């Protein structure tokens, strides 16, 4: 079942790079959430995506948005090293069991022979827990529409 604009975002609880569980509900009624699914840590396009987000984090914060990067292929241990290596200044979450990626419909059937790898995808979830933006890219070398994400964040009241 595909998620659409206006749908209630599926809740989740995932481990961050410190092993702490972060829940989508932690931000309900307080902050919008930018959820960025990415295929694999330490790859060129994922590094570019997350470093671009890192370099623009003040914009997201000024728009009352919490950015959460989610990998379905990497453990929180790998994400911890990736975060440190790239000086990522927002939370990275491990969806190693692929539960959340399945809920959000972001998994490739086959990614270069690997199963359970998330497509590069972006969701904005407003403070009420509704999806207000969604982008799921089939081509892993494409970057998210950063301008579209910021434009949509600007339109949330």
120 assigned to some structural domain: yes
Give the pLDDT score at 16.
97
Give the pLDDT score at 1.
57
How many Å is the maximal CA-CA distance in the chain? 43
Give the pLDDT score at 147.
96
Is the pLDDT confidence value at 2 over 60?
yes
Q: How many domains does the chain have?
A: 1
62 assigned to some structural domain: yes
Is the pLDDT confidence value at 42 over 70?
yes
156 assigned to some structural domain: no
Place of tokens 């994922």: 46
CATH number of 75's domain: 3.40.30.10
91 assigned to some structural domain: yes
135 assigned to some structural domain: yes
The model's pTM: 0.95
Is the pLDDT confidence value at 121 over 60?
yes
Nearest residue to 70 via CA among 2, 3, 138, 119: 119
Is the pLDDT confidence value at 36 over 90?
yes
Active site residues: 46
Q: How confident is the model at residue 112 (pLDDT cuts 50, 70, 90)?
A: confident
119 assigned to some structural domain: yes
Average of per-residue pLDDT values in the chain? 94
30 assigned to some structural domain: yes
39 assigned to some structural domain: yes
Q: How far apart are CA 93 and CA 139, in angstroms?
A: 22
Domain assignment of residue 105, given as a range: 13-142
Give the pLDDT score at 128.
95
Tokens of residue 19, six digits: 């092993």
Nearest residue to 7 via CA among 109, 112, 134: 134
In percent, how much of the chain has pLDDT > 90?
Answer: 89
Condensed to tens digits (0 to 9), the pLDDT of residues 54-91 reads 999 999 999 999 999 999 989 999 999 999 999 999 99
């Amino acid at each position: 079942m595909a998620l659409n604009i206006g749908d209630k975002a599926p809740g989740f609880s995932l481990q961050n790079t410190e092993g702490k569980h972060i829940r989508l509900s932690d931000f309900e009624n307080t902050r919008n959430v930018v959820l960025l699914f990415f295929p694999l840590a330490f790859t060129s396009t994922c590094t570019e995506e997350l470093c671009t987000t890192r370099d623009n984090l003040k914009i997201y914060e000024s728009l009352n948005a919490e950015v959460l990067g989610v990998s379905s292929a990497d453990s929180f241990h790998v994400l911890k090293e990736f975060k440190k290596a790239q000086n990522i200044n927002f939370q990275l979450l491990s969806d190693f069991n692929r539960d959340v990626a399945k809920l959000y419909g972001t998994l490739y059937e086959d990614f270069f022979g690997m199963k359970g790898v998330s497509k590069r995808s972006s969701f904005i979830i407003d403070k009420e827990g509704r999806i207000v933006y969604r982008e799921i890219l089939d081509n892993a070398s494409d970057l998210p529409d950063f301008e579209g994400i910021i434009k949509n964040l600007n339109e949330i009241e």
